[in-house]
Structure 1
Amino acid sequence: MGLPLRDHQHHTYSEYLTWPDDVRYELIDGQAVMMAPAPNLDHQDIVGELFYQIRQQLEGKPCRPFIAPVDVRLPRGDEANEDIDTVVQPDVIIVCDPGKLDRRGVRGAPDWVAEVLSPSTAAHDQVVKRRIYERARVPEYWLVHPNDRTLTIYTLRDGAYGRPDIFELKETTRLQTMPELEIAWDALVERLPKQEF
């Protein structure tokens, strides 16, 4: 989702906490990755709408949605927080286990992750973060493609993401691992700029 610093040092969460707030980073396997500049309004509109719809449907239920920026620490095992070397900031997440939440964010895999792609983040989200979320055992990972109006869904089966399901952004799409939740697309897509061919 950005540009590696290429300092070839292995960083941990304890160092990450000391970095300046005016530049956002993710930490992927110990490598600092600078986040892209502020995304465009279409991206923000989609992220906001996903969060809004999910939040309404989860009202009064134990699962909670969060919107970026929120640090999600993904330990490989039982290492202490300060030793974790992967910290990401997904666009929208759902966390159902309150034991994963603390004042600094989330420790452990969210139950659902959605990333909205932009030209500067597409490769990172589709390749690097997909691998990270699979390793962390995130049950369901959505990639929203605003330009081609499609949605790619990876679902964890037997510990791995297999072939993804691909849908058009129209009508409604249910979460595969939480089918009581769904996203309605039509009004949102209508607000997006018309596609040019």
Structure 2
Amino acid sequence: MSTAEKLEERYTYADYARWSENESWELIDGIAYAMAAPSRIHQEIVFELGGQIRNYLQGKSCRGYVAPFDVRLPRQSEADDKVDTVVQPDLTVICDRSKLDDKGCRGAPDWIVEVLSPATTLKDMHTKTRLYEQHGVREYWIVHPTERWVMVYTLDETGKYSRPSVYGMDEPLALQVLPDLSIDWAFVEQI
């Protein structure tokens, strides 16, 4: 398969699993999206956040992962080969270990962080917000690396995302799903 921004043909995880490991793809509702190479700033933010999350999770039952890490989001209970949505969030935390297997995660993570890149901004802010809400991701953060803000979506009691909150990176930001974890953004000033 050649690299393209978006392929209109419909695919499943069975197709995806056969594609070259030299190319990065996501499937959303059967549509294949090529993953762009991230910028240096994007990677610095992911690296630092990953370190803070790793330190917090030591000795706890939740597990954290950085991309590339496959998150399969089945519609119901279909077999993996029939799943038509596989994403690779920048950062993922899963507290229900029964969702983890050698392929990655099957089902909604508890927390997902996407660091915006110019090539993926619309997908991360619109398509993935809808997708993560639909599948029950409890907390979704969108990080804007150059504008220095974080948009936070959390599921309400109806299973829908409440109106997002937007925070600057001028002070630590606490999570709702892991309330004793607070992300310190001081590192951003050094990027």
TM-score w.r.t. the length of structure 1 is 0.92
Instruction: Map 1:33-72; keep pairs closer than 5 Å.
Output: 33-36=33-36, 38-72=37-71
Deviation at 1:170, TM superposition (A): 1.8
Find the residue that maps to 2:167 and give its secondary structure.
strand
Amino acid in the other structure paired with 2:140: Y
Deviation at 1:59, TM superposition (A): 0.3
- State the distance in 1 between where 2:132 and 2:81 align: 20
- State the distance in 2 between where 1:5 and 1:179 align: 40
Instruction: For residues 15-45 of structure 1, give each alpha carbon's deviation from its aligned partner in whole angstroms, at most 9, with x where no partner exists.
Output: 1101111111000101111111x21110000
**Equivalence for 1:86:** 85
Deviation at 1:177, TM superposition (A): 1.9
- State the distance in 2 between where 1:180 and 1:105 align: 26
Q: Which runs of 5+ in 1 are unaligned?
A: 193-197
- State the distance in 2 between where 1:10 and 1:41 align: 32
Q: CA RMSD in A?
A: 1.0
Taking only the aligned residue pairs, the percentage that are identical comes to 50
**Equivalence for 2:134:** 135
**Equivalence for 1:5:** 7
Q: Which runs of 5+ in 2 are unaligned?
A: none
Amino acid in the other structure paired with 1:179: P
- 1:22 maps onto 2:26 in alignment: no
- State the distance in 1 between where 2:181 and 2:92 align: 13
**Equivalence for 2:176:** 176
Would you say how many aligned residue pairs link Structure 1 and Structure 2? 187
Deviation at 1:136, TM superposition (A): 0.7
Instruction: For residues 116-159 of structure 1, give each alpha carbon's deviation from its aligned partner in whole angstroms, at most 9, with x where no partner exists.
Output: 00111111100011111011100000000111110000001111
**Equivalence for 2:107:** 108
Find the residue that maps to 2:45 and give its secondary structure.
helix
**Equivalence for 1:98:** 97
Amino acid in the other structure paired with 1:10: R
- 1:73 maps onto 2:72 in alignment: yes
TM-score w.r.t. the length of structure 2 is 0.95
- State the distance in 2 between where 1:159 and 1:111 align: 13
**Equivalence for 2:145:** 146
Find the residue that maps to 1:43 and give its secondary structure.
helix
- State the distance in 1 between where 2:22 and 2:55 align: 31
- State the distance in 2 between where 1:25 and 1:94 align: 20
**Equivalence for 1:195:** none
Deviation at 1:162, TM superposition (A): 2.1
Instruction: For residues 165-195 of structure 1, give each alpha carbon's deviation from its aligned partner in whole angstroms, at most 9, with x where no partner exists.
Output: 1100122000122111110001x11112xxx
Amino acid in the other structure paired with 1:184: D
- State the distance in 2 between where 1:84 and 1:170 align: 40
- 1:165 maps onto 2:168 in alignment: no
